[in-house]
Amino acid sequence: MIKISIIIPIFNVEEYLPKCLDSILSQTLKDIEVICVNDGSTDGSLRVLQEYKSKDDRIIIIDKKNEGSGIARNMGLLSARGEYVYFADSDDWLEKETALETIYEAAEKDCLDILIFGGYSCYRKYDKIIKWKGRYRLDDLNKKYFQEVFSANDIKNDIFKFPSTAWTKLYRRDFLLENDIRFQPIKVGQDQLFFFHSMITAKRMKVLNKYFYCYRKERVGSVTAVRKKKNFSPIYVTRAIEELLKKLDKTEDYLAISIDRYFGKATSWLGRFDKDLKPEYYAQYIELLTHIQKSCNGWWKYFNPTMSDGYWRLKMKTFLAKQKFMLLK
């Protein structure tokens, strides 16, 4: 029986892919399959995959045109046969050889839909790898989440305290398939809809206070390393989550907090957007703002950004809008 299907979307990571694969194939848990979705790489990534597959038949290669990691992960999920599913990125690695065995046993013990754990942000300084918890820490979570099994109903006010990345979670495969939980087909932030949908749906979750994953920061070519923003992902995420909540009849529970989170990010991006693309982004941003001002009560009702606003001016306007909302509500 395959206990965990590891799904890895791959695009032009020839230099980093061996470290990722070595960290997975050397795991003490041997009953795994490693689904490598080559998303139209133009470097030697496919060759690296073929070399590894010739030595380990647990590797499954899916070769496809480039469409982004969200679609690649969805394709891998539909091919998976494991009891549980784990998503890894091709330029990152698992730190401990017992990582998969530990998370599998913890999830199996409590019959979990989702097991949550921590990850490190890693970067190279001279010849050393520096690790820090950063955005993937578990320190902000209530201790009860480490001690008890909890459900979506228990975390309505804490949902955004949990790390939102796919690689800080082990998922029961049937849970994902039965609830039609999929990644959004966008270039950046494709895991946000997946995170939100799974966290507001799961009936059995628990947190394991361990850090197994190493996320490589500032890789050249990585979309997360780009300082100037050039795509409309936060707008797409905000709209997709509103549609999801309508479909699940959960707008009353989550719409305001999700808009606060994701429209807030869209606002942050407005202040750092590429100047040549900013007019188009601003037009869609204002269309979204107008929509949410009508559909949901919140600080955005008192928010009036302009296209010339920079990052810090938008931060100040957001702060003032939140203060006014708190005073008048």
Q: Which helix (H) or strand (E) holds 64?
A: strand 59-64
Give 118's pLDDT tier (boundaries 50, 70, 90).
very high
Indicate if 319 and 207 belong to the same structural domain. Answer: no
Indicate if 193 and 292 belong to the same structural domain. Answer: no
* Mean pLDDT for the stretch of residues 267-282: 94
Give the 3-state secondary structure of residue 289.
helix
pLDDT higher at 53 or 123? 53
Q: What is the token pair recorded at 172? A: 């029961």
What share of the chain has pLDDT > 70, as a percent?
Answer: 97
Residue 129 has pLDDT above 90, yes or no: no
R_g over Cα of the chain: 20
| Residue 254, phi then psi, degrees to nearest 5 | -130, -10
Indicate if 217 and 266 belong to the same structural domain. Answer: no
Indicate if 154 and 298 belong to the same structural domain. Answer: no
Q: What integer pLDDT is reported at residue 125 of this predicted model?
A: 72
Looking up tokens 């969805």 gives 74
Q: What integer pLDDT is reported at residue 140 of this predicted model?
A: 86
Residue 42 has pLDDT above 80, yes or no: yes
Among candidate residues 204, 225, 246, the one where a domain is terminated:
225
Indicate if 52 and 197 belong to the same structural domain. Answer: yes
Q: What integer pLDDT is reported at residue 123 of this predicted model?
A: 78
Domain limits for position 153:
4-225
Indicate if 95 and 205 belong to the same structural domain. Answer: yes
* Mean pLDDT for the stretch of residues 168-173: 98
Q: What is the pLDDT of residues 79-90, one digit of tens each?
A: 999 999 999 999
Among candidate residues 225, 247, 274, the one where a domain is terminated:
225
Indicate if 75 and 199 belong to the same structural domain. Answer: yes
Indicate if 58 and 187 belong to the same structural domain. Answer: yes
Indicate if 213 and 254 belong to the same structural domain. Answer: no
pLDDT higher at 126 or 227? 126
291's CB contacts (< 8 A; 6+ apart) are none
Q: What integer pLDDT is reported at residue 218 of this predicted model?
A: 65
Q: What integer pLDDT is reported at residue 227 of this predicted model?
A: 52
129-138, 245-254, 304-313: least confident range = 129-138
**Could you give the CA distance from residue 319 to residue 305 in angstroms, rounded to a whole number?**
12
Q: How far is CA 68 from CA 79, 105, 298, in A?
A: 17, 32, 33
Among candidate residues 179, 204, 225, the one where a domain is terminated:
225
pLDDT higher at 229 or 32? 32
Beta strands of the chain (E only): which ranges? 4-10, 32-39, 59-64, 84-87, 93-94, 114-125, 128-132, 169-172, 205-216
Q: What angle do CA 282, 284, 286 make, to 5 degrees?
A: 65
Indicate if 221 and 284 belong to the same structural domain. Answer: no
Q: What integer pLDDT is reported at residue 130 of this predicted model?
A: 72
Q: What is the pLDDT of residues 172-202, one digit of tens each?
A: 999 999 999 999 998 888 999 999 999 999 9
Indicate if 178 and 240 belong to the same structural domain. Answer: no
Q: Which helix (H) or strand (E) holds 320?
A: helix 311-328
CATH number at residue 190: 3.90.550.10
Q: Report the amino acid identity of residue 292.
A: I
Contact 3, 103 (CB under 8 A): no
Rounded mean pLDDT of the chain?
93
Indicate if 187 and 284 belong to the same structural domain. Answer: no
Q: Is the dihedral of CA 255, 256, 257, 259 positive or negative?
A: positive
* Mean pLDDT for the stretch of residues 152-167: 94
Q: If we measure between CA atoms, which residue out of 236, 223, 225 comes closest to residue 39?
A: 223
Q: What is the pLDDT of residues 199-238, one digit of tens each?
A: 999 999 999 999 999 999 764 444 444 456 778 999 999 9
In the Cβ-directed half-sphere of 74, how many Cα atoms lie within 13 Å?
Answer: 16
If one counts the domains in the chain, the total is 2
What share of the chain has pLDDT > 90, as a percent?
Answer: 87
